[in-house]
Copies of this chain bind each other. A is one copy, B any other.
Amino acid sequence: MALAFTRDEYRRRATKVRRQMENRGIDVLLVSDIANQFWLTGCEGWSFYLPQFVILPLADEEPMWIGRAMDVPGARRTGYMSPDRVHPFPESHVQRPDRHPCDFIGNFLGDLGYSGKRIGYESDAYYFSPRGFRSLQAALPKAVFVDCDVMVNWERAVKTEAEIAYMRRAAATAARCMHTAYELIAPGVRQCDVVGEIYKLQMAGDPELSGDLTGLCPIILAGEAGTTAHPIWSEERFASDQPVAIEVAGACRRYHAALCRSLYLGRPPAPVTDTATAVEEGLARVLEAVQAGVTAAQVHGAWQAVLDRHGMKKDSRIGYSIGVGYPPDWGEHTISLRPGEDVVLESGMVLHIVIGMWLERFGLELSETVLVGEKRAECLTDFPRELHVKALA
């Protein structure tokens, strides 16, 4: 499989991260976040159900990968580094009470000369556990562990042209999924059958490139589950006179673009159309506010003004940075659009802006994945935003 990016792009990424390591006086960075691992090395595979790390030395050397022995060939095949930078922990360390892969990995770091050094680690990344951390500390009692959580994530926020190209493909897949959902959702149809068709489109990707499993699963708010934020589909059938909200993404080479839309099966009553109007207006105002130089809080302010005018309330953030993702998330855990966030948006950032209203009786969602530009934001998908009314025969 060809690398998703040029070796130079991977090297530039490492350089960006090393600059941060230098600022924090870190000798070596232990990357446990799988999305960060992929971004830094290209290493790909479903091996992260066991501990695995990318080791990035401050010195200008290629990153290393260490993971389960049987997954070493996969990492060698997919990573940009030379094969001798990919190392196994032995099969004897898989899921045992008496030893842990991080015992071995800690000793491995010691052998590399990092025993007395400052080791950066990601304290809140998925798939890095308290036990794993404890094992590392026990193996390296003289090392100083420095919390570098989301440090690499922040370096991912501004995308390159090559990354944006994958996200555009992902956005096209998301739009295809949404079109199919619009087409298939009808009274009597089972939720799970629609979700199955969505997965099929997600994996197929486009005629040139395959798609990936998205960080979040497709989410359908309908019927009983209509008022909850992240329900799992079931065999429940769609019914007439029902609002349905759909949240779906496409992923290409792990880069995501997400899309939320809502539809109504039948003639929507006033509370639904009123909420839909407020949500549409809110998204429009928010999109107008997005451009390089404004803060995340300012973007949220545009939505708050609409909420206030309509006398509505919503506690949760209205967007976040999106990019490389693995289950269970596609957000980058950096930028959040909400009050008090003074991070300044830059050209090349990509945000998933979601206006979701989960009310007592129903839920509606509307979103765009947008590329921040100097003077405006560009939506990666061109898909009608209004509540899709499906007239019933």
**A→B interface (CB under 8 Å):** 1, 44-49, 68-71, 73-74, 77, 90-92, 94-97, 100, 121, 123-134, 147, 149-150, 190-193, 195-197, 199-205, 208-213, 215-217, 219, 224-225, 227-236, 315-317, 320, 327-329, 331, 333, 336, 358
Shortest CB distance A375–B (Å): 29
B133→A130 contact, CB < 8 A:
yes
- 4 closest A-B pairs by beta carbon, nearest first, are A192-B210, A74-B228, A199-B199, A123-B131
Contacts of A317 in B (CB 8 A): 91, 94
Contacts of A231 in B (CB 8 A): 44-46, 74, 77
- Given known pairs A124-B130, A130-B130, A316-B94, the reply for A232 and B212 (CB within 8 Å) is yes
A96 — nearest CB in chain B belongs to which residue? B336
- The answer for the CA separation of A132 and B123 in the assembled complex, in Å, is 8
Across the interface, A205 reaches (CB within 8 A) one of B126, B202, B230, B235, namely B235
* Number of copies of this protein chain within its complex: 2
Contacts of A212 in B (CB 8 A): 232
Q: List 6 other contacts, CB 8 Å, given A47-B230, A92-B315, A196-B202.
A: A1-B234, A47-B229, A49-B329, A73-B227, A77-B225, A124-B130
A1 — nearest CB in chain B belongs to which residue? B234
Contacts of A91 in B (CB 8 A): 315-317
A77→B234 contact, CB < 8 A:
no
Shortest CB distance A76–B (Å): 8
- The answer for the CA separation of A163 and B212 in the assembled complex, in Å, is 31
Shortest CB distance A356–B (Å): 8
B74→A216 contact, CB < 8 A:
no
B210→A190 contact, CB < 8 A:
yes
Contacts of A48 in B (CB 8 A): 328
B73→A358 contact, CB < 8 A:
yes
15 contacts between A and B (CB under 8 A): A45-B228, A46-B230, A68-B229, A69-B315, A74-B225, A94-B336, A95-B336, A97-B150, A126-B126, A128-B130, A129-B129, A130-B130, A193-B203, A197-B200, A212-B232
Contacts of A195 in B (CB 8 A): 203
Contacts of A77 in B (CB 8 A): 224-225, 228, 231
A216 — nearest CB in chain B belongs to which residue? B46
A201→B210 contact, CB < 8 A:
no
B134→A74 contact, CB < 8 A:
no
A73→B199 contact, CB < 8 A:
no
Contacts of A208 in B (CB 8 A): 235
Contacts of A233 in B (CB 8 A): 203, 210
A223 — nearest CB in chain B belongs to which residue? B1
A358 — nearest CB in chain B belongs to which residue? B70
B199→A328 contact, CB < 8 A:
no
Contacts of A202 in B (CB 8 A): 196, 199
- The answer for the CA separation of A125 and B126 in the assembled complex, in Å, is 10
- The answer for the CA separation of A328 and B212 in the assembled complex, in Å, is 14
Shortest CB distance A155–B (Å): 16
Across the interface, A129 reaches (CB within 8 A) one of B125, B199, B234, B336, namely B125
A219→B128 contact, CB < 8 A:
no
B230→A45 contact, CB < 8 A:
yes
Shortest CB distance A187–B (Å): 18
A203→B210 contact, CB < 8 A:
no
- The answer for the CA separation of A150 and B209 in the assembled complex, in Å, is 40
